Chains A and B, each alone.
Chain A
Amino acid sequence: MSEDQILLKVEFGGGLELLFSNEKKHALTLPARVPADNSTSPAPSEKETKPLDIAYLIHWLRDHRLKERAELFMENDTVRPGILVLINDTDWELEGEGGYEIKDRDEIVFISTLHGG
C-alpha cells in the first residue's frame, strides 16, 4: 500500500447494515490526506487538507456507501445519537471520537443501539 493511501476495515452491527445494502463488512482504501471540510467529492488540489480521521470517514460512508435514510446514520456532522463507534475494539470516546486519525489496517465498527429494544 502506498503511503498516500490507507487500508481500513469497516463493519456495521445492530441492524445498521440495513442502511448499507445489508453488507456488514466493507474493506476500504481511502487517501491519507483528505479535505479539512470533510467534502468527499473530488477536491481541487489547493483545498486545505488534514489526515484521514473518523469524522471524514463518517461523511465518506454517507456519501459513497449509504443507500437510504441518511438521517438514521448522521446528525449534526457526526453519527446519530444511539450509534456507537469502536476503533480497534475500543470505544471511540477513549480515542478522541471524530478527531481520531485513522491508521493503516485499522478496524472501525459502527453499532446501532436503536434496532428495537
Chain B
Amino acid sequence: MSTSCGNPTVEKDALMPRRRKFDRTKTCIKCKDNQGNVTIRHAVYCKECFFPMLNQKFKRSLEPTINPIPDGPRKKNLYPPGNLLIAFSGGLGSTVLLDLVHKGYVASRKPREDADAAVRKKDPKNEMVWKEVHVCYVEVCGAFPAMRDRTEDVRRVVESYDGFKFVPLRVEDSFDTKWWESVGGKPDKGELRVDITNEDLILLPSSNATSPLSALHTYLSSLPAPTAIPTTLQTLTRLLLLHTARATSSSHFLFGTCLTSLSVSLVSLVAQGGGFNIKEEVQEDWGGEGGRQAVRIVRPLKDIVMKECAMYAWWRGLEVVGQEVWPDARQGIGGITKDFIVGLEKDYPSTVSTITRTCAKLAPKETPAGICTLCNRPAQGHVQDWKTRISIRSLSPSLASPQQPSLAPYLCYMCHTTLTSKSSKKPSSGSSSAGGEEGNEVPLPLWVGARVRRMEREEMRDKVKEFLLDKEEEEEGYAEPI
C-alpha cells in the first residue's frame, strides 16, 4: 500500500492523452497535392502553401485595425490617419513582422502622394498604405553591466530593407530630459522623486540632477524584488516606444508578439496582478485624451505560433539578431511562464491558443477610475484600500500625512505592487541599495512627473471650480497631455 498522500488512480487518469502530431495524411491540406513540409497545430502544409497561409493570417489580423472605424473583415480601402511605427527587438517575432510588413506594404509600392489620406479614402494598391514607416529599437544594455550593445546589429537588419526609418533608443532615455523634449514633453519644473520605502510612495521634489544612466540604476536597484526588474524594463520600453509613436505622428504601432509570446505575456500579466489590463495586452488605443490622435497598438502576429515564425524566418533566410537574456530572467515570472507555455506548445499544440481565446472573453468588473501614471494603462481605483482588504498585514500606520503628495493613488495595482511588494526571500532589504546621499529617494521616469502634476492640477481645479469665474488659462508645461 502506498504511503503517499496522493491518489494514484486519479493522478494516472488525469494525464491528458496526446494527439498525433498531424491529423490524417502527410499531404498538404491546402493544395492536397504536395507532400507536407510542416505541421502547424495538427494541420499539414507544404512549403508553397505555407507562405500564403501565413501572409493571410497576418493581413486578416492587421487590416481590420487600420481604418479608425473598422469596416469589418470585408474592408476595401485602407486609410490610416497617421504613420506606422514598428517595435523591433531583434527577436524572432519582430524579425518576421518586419519582413511581412515590408513585403506586404512597402516593397513594390510607391510613396503615398496624398498627404491627407483620410480625406481621399482610397487605397491604391500601388501606393504605400502608411506614408512613413519607422522602426524603433530600445537597447536595454544600460540596465545590466557587461551586456552587449546590439544597436548596430539591429541597425544592420533594419537598414537592409528600403523604406524604413530607424529610430534607436536606450532604456535610460526614460530619465533623459533631452529625449523627453524630443518627443514633445515640456521641461519639468524640478524633477520628481519618490520614497519607495513607504507604501504610499511619497513624492518629493528634487533638484539634484543625475545622469539618465545613474537614475536608471538607482530606480532598478531600489525595486523591492528581483522579479520586478523585468516587469519594470518592459514598462519603460513600452512607454519609450509609445511616446516615439506619437512623436513620429504614427497612428499605428505594431508589436511582433506571436500567439505563443502573447499567451506567455497574458499568463504572466495575470500572475503579476495586471489582470485588469488583459484586454490592453492584446490591443489598445493609447494617448487619445485631449482630442489628440490616439496610437493604436496592434499585434498582427497574434494568430501565428512561434513555430510558424521560426519556419518563416528559416525558409526566408532572415537574420535573427536575438535578444540578450536578462540576468535572472529565466527564474522570473515571465521566464517560468515561457518555459511552461513552450513545453505545452510542443506536447499539446492546440492548447496554447485556448489561453488567448479564454483571455479574450475576460473583462474587468469595474470601470477604470483613471490612467496609471507609470504604465499609462487603465487603472482601477482605490488600489491601496483593496490591498488592505485582501491581505493580512501588520504594517505600522502610514507615516504619510494627508498633505503629503503621494504617487500611490495614481498607480494601477500592478505598478504599485511592482514598486512595493517585497520578495519573501529578501525581507526588507528593499531600498538599502537605492543609494547614495539621496537615501530612499528614487527618480521617476519623466512621463510620470508630467502626468502626476497635470492630475494634481485637475483635482485642484475640480475642488475650486465653483469659485472660478473664467476658464483658467493652461499653465505652460502642462497644457499638453503627455
A89 interfacial contact with B, CB 8 Å: yes
Contact indicator B323/A94 (Cβ below 8 Å):
no
Given contacts A15-B322, A84-B311, A93-B21, is CB(A117)–CB(B306) below 8 Å? yes
Task: Give chain B interface residues in 246-269, CB to chain A under 8 Å.
Answer: 256, 258, 260-261
Contact indicator A115/B320 (Cβ below 8 Å):
yes
In whole angstroms, how far apart are the Cα atoms of A40 and B38 in the complex?
30
Task: Give chain A interface residues in 49-68, CB to chain B under 8 Å.
Answer: none
Query: Looking at the complex, which of B156-164, B213-221, B340-348, B423-431 is the stretch in contact with chain A?
Result: B340-348
Q: Which chain B residue lies CB-closest to A109?
A: B314
Contacts of A13 in B (CB 8 A): 314
Contact indicator B94/A91 (Cβ below 8 Å):
no
Contacts of A94 in B (CB 8 A): 21-22, 26, 36-39, 44
Given contacts A94-B36, A117-B256, is CB(A82)–CB(B92) below 8 Å? no
Task: Give chain B interface residues in 300-359, CB to chain A under 8 Å.
Answer: 306-307, 309-311, 313-314, 320-325, 339, 342-343, 345-347
Query: What is the total number of residues of chain A having a CB less than 8 Å from a CB of chain B?
Result: 21
Contact indicator A14/B313 (Cβ below 8 Å):
yes
Contact indicator B346/A14 (Cβ below 8 Å):
no
Contact indicator A81/B38 (Cβ below 8 Å):
no
Query: Could you give, for residues 33-75 of chain B, a 1 whenever the CB lies within 8 Å of some chain A CB and a 0 otherwise?
Result: 0011111000010010000000000000000000000000000
Contacts of B323 in A (CB 8 A): 115-117
User: How many residues of B sit at the interface, in one of the four size bands?
Assistant: 35 or more
Q: Which chain A residue lies CB-closest to B344?
A: A81
Task: Give chain A interface residues in 78-94, CB to chain B under 8 Å.
Answer: 81-82, 84, 86, 89-91, 93-94
Contacts of B22 in A (CB 8 A): 93-94
CB distance from A82 to the nearest CB of B (A): 4
CB distance from B157 to the nearest CB of A (A): 13
Q: In this complex, which of A82, A86, A93, A117 has the most chain B Cβ atoms within 10 angstroms of its Cβ? A: A117
In whole angstroms, how far apart are the Cα atoms of A81 and B341 in the complex?
9
Contacts of A114 in B (CB 8 A): 342
B405 interfacial contact with A, CB 8 Å: no
In whole angstroms, how far apart are the Cα atoms of A104 and B313 in the complex?
27
In whole angstroms, how far apart are the Cα atoms of A109 and B317 in the complex?
13
B89 interfacial contact with A, CB 8 Å: yes
Contacts of B311 in A (CB 8 A): 84, 91
Contact indicator A81/B92 (Cβ below 8 Å):
no
Given contacts A13-B314, A81-B343, A113-B309, is CB(A90)–CB(B93) below 8 Å? no
Contacts of A93 in B (CB 8 A): 21-22, 39
CB within 8 A of A91: which of B37, B256, B306?
Answer: B37
B104 interfacial contact with A, CB 8 Å: no
Contact indicator B37/A89 (Cβ below 8 Å):
yes
Contact indicator B26/A15 (Cβ below 8 Å):
no
A111 interfacial contact with B, CB 8 Å: yes
B435 interfacial contact with A, CB 8 Å: no
CB distance from B177 to the nearest CB of A (A): 30
In whole angstroms, how far apart are the Cα atoms of A94 and B29 in the complex?
14
CB within 8 A of B91: which of A97, A109, A115?
Answer: A115
In whole angstroms, how far apart are the Cα atoms of A111 and B306 in the complex?
12
Given contacts A89-B47, A94-B36, is CB(A81)–CB(B314) below 8 Å? no
Contact indicator B37/A14 (Cβ below 8 Å):
no
Contact indicator B346/A82 (Cβ below 8 Å):
yes
Contact indicator A115/B26 (Cβ below 8 Å):
no
Q: 6 A-B Cβ contacts within 8 A?
A: A81-B345, A82-B306, A91-B36, A91-B311, A93-B22, A117-B94
In the A-B complex, list the 7 residue pairs whose CB atoms are closest, starting with the nearest.
A116-B323, A116-B91, A117-B91, A117-B92, A93-B21, A81-B346, A115-B322
